[in-house]
Amino acid sequence: MLHPSLAADVACLFDGFGLPEPASGGLLVHSPIDGRLIGACPSGEVDMDEAVSRARTAFLQWRLVPAPRRGDLVRRYGALLRQHKEALGRLISIECGKILSEGLGEVQEMIDMCDFAVGLSRQLYGLTMSSERPGHRMMETWHPLGVCGVITAFNFPAAVWAWNAALALVCGDPVIWKPSSRTPLTALACQALLEAAMEEAGEVPDGLSQVVVGPTRVGRALADHPDVALLSATGSTAMGRSLAPRVAGRFGRCLLELGGNNGMIVAPSADLELALRAIVFAAAGTAGQRCTTLRRLFVHESIYAQLQARLQAAFASLPVGNPLDAGTLVGPLIDGAAFDSHRAALDQAVSDGGVVHGGERVAVADCPDGHYVRPAVVEMAGQTALVRQENFSPILYVLRYRNLDAAIAAHNAVRQGLSSSLFTTDLREMEHFLSASGSDCGIANVNIGPSGAEIGGAFGGEKDSGGGREAGSDAWRAYMRRATNTINYSGDLPLAQGVRFV
């Protein structure tokens, strides 16, 4: 039985995007908001050979289309996203449980990414180099790479695919998308809109964008296929650790965006008002289910008591509830397993000597099967094994520090290296944190939190966070292959390094 209000929402989306009727069989999709059935996604055994072969055929055509014309498709897609922002943002919220403002923000992130990719489609620059030989010229050219496999997680069910797809498409590559099995409807909606853009653009090869829905073995088949040139995978470190060797074993290219265990240091000179707001959004936003969520807070001992008290009060008053209701800031966890691991982490924190504030289950009217929790602040004396691992729920470990070097060392003493931040008004501290001996993360911020990155920068992290870079800056290069060209326009044939031969 569909929840009446959700059923109406979803049905209207199906109308708008020409999706199949919900409940027509296949993979059943339940909303984390109240656990009820919201639809079904057609599913069956995925024939990966056939999907990759269609994509490969599309590649042979698409790579010949001039990049600015490929950009025209992405421009049209961005326009359709603008038109359907409300409906798609709502579907995202319904399917993954993030608050409406974040669901809409995710669609905005897709739109921004399209705009960025359209501009790029007239760039994709290579360099020229001075040749050591007279009458010679050297340059590099960037060519389309091939079929891109994209695996995404439930927490950003649309934007992370768009980071990849918008770049891949302008770079001349087809995309095969394996979304999280928890959020396939969003994937179908994104795909249906892209198909509408393709229809408008005309002359787009069949199979340029495909969605394959299914369990883990579908992702493995994508990783193993010799004709998948790039596998871009977002998810847990364990997922990356199991897929990366498979891709490396066949000399494929991998782009990994894995777990984070993001920290923030709050120095004595920090603007505490700003810091407090940044901490609350970064630690409790998206119910702690972002790879960039703030999980470890290092507070200088001189301001510890003051900040800790304010944080506790702020967390205690956060509106936890139905993410579709105006005013809610913290929605549900994705499922019961996430709730169990949240509880287990808090129990472990207590055994480790931590002092837990909040973290309890919250009952939400009309949502008895949703898993809602109050974000927790946990005071810890040190970084135990628990603090060093990522738990995908809103738990913020707070630790005190005495000197910045020691705080930076503790901050870096985890296996993950995704995002980080420092609150200070001291110029020297700021430069130190951003220097080679500062944060070891792919993202290092000052006076803003570690989450909520704009698309203009390259997004990704080091160490167990996977090493990949997606979205802005020169992340597009991962989706192309580089050819180095030397052209001889002299009448002679001098060899490099002065070698003489015939």
Out of 148, 171, 291, 441, pick the active-site residue: 291
Exactly one of 292, 322, 393, 420 binds ligand UN1 (CB under 6 A); which one? 292
> Per-residue x/- marks for ligand UN1, 175-214, CB under 6 A?
----------------------------------------
Task: Work out the end-to-end distance of the chain between its first and last CA atoms, rounded to an integer number of angstroms.
Answer: 83
Stretch that binds ligand UN1, among 184-192, 290-298, 319-327, 423-431 (CB under 6 A): 290-298
Scanning residues 367 to 426, which ones bind ligand UN1 (CB under 6 A)? none
Q: Does 156 bind ligand UN1 (CB under 6 A)?
A: yes
Residue 284 interacting with ligand UN1 (CB under 6 A): no
290 contacts ligand UN1 (rule: CB under 6 A) = yes
Stretch that binds ligand UN1, among 29-37, 198-206, 284-292, 383-391 (CB under 6 A): 284-292
- Supply the minimum distance, in Å, between the C-beta of residue 270 and ligand UN1: 21
Stretch that binds ligand UN1, among 35-43, 48-56, 153-161, 261-269 (CB under 6 A): 153-161
Query: CB-based contacts of 277: which residues, under 8 Å, 6+ apart?
Result: none
Q: Please, where are the H alpha helices in 18-141?
A: 48-62, 67-83, 85-96, 100-120
Query: What's the min distance (Å) between Cβ of 160 and ligand UN1?
Result: 6
SS3 content of the chain, % helix, strand, coil (to 5): 40, 20, 40
- The residues near 295 (Cβ < 8 Å, ≥ 6 apart) are 260, 261, 262, 263, 283, 288, 387, 390, 391, 395, 396, 397
Cα–Cα nearest to 209, from 242, 229, 187: 187
> How long is the chain?
502
- Identified catalytic residue from 257, 379, 390, 429: 257
| Residue 454 falls in the annotated catalytic set | no
Indicate the SS3 state at residue 23: coil
Alpha carbon 208 to its chain centroid, in Å, reads 22
Shorter beta-carbon distance to ligand UN1: residue 156 or 298: 156
- DSSP-derived letter for residue 369 is T
264/423 Cα distance (integer angstroms): 8
Site string for ligand UN1, 428-467 (x = CB under 6 A): -----------------------xxx--------------
Among 234, 237, 261, 383, binds ligand UN1 (CB under 6 A): 234
Q: Minimum distance between the CB of residue 5 and ligand UN1, rounded to whole angstroms?
A: 28
Considering the complex, state which of residue 281 and residue 304 has its C-beta at the smaller distance from ligand UN1: 281
Give the residue among 405, 394, 384 at the shortest CA–CA distance from 362: 394
Residue nearest to ligand UN1 (CB): 453
Q: Are 342 and 391 in contact (CB under 8 A)?
A: yes
Tokens of 344: 């287990």
- Stretch in the footprint of ligand UN1 (CB under 6 A) among 64-72, 143-151, 289-297, 315-323: 289-297
User: Quick check: is 257 catalytic?
Assistant: yes
Rg for the chain (alpha carbons), in Å? 24
Distance CA 446, CA 89 (A): 30
Which residues are the active-site residues? Answer: 257, 291
Provide the binding-site residues for ligand UN1, judged by CB under 6 A: 155-156, 160, 234, 290-292, 451-453
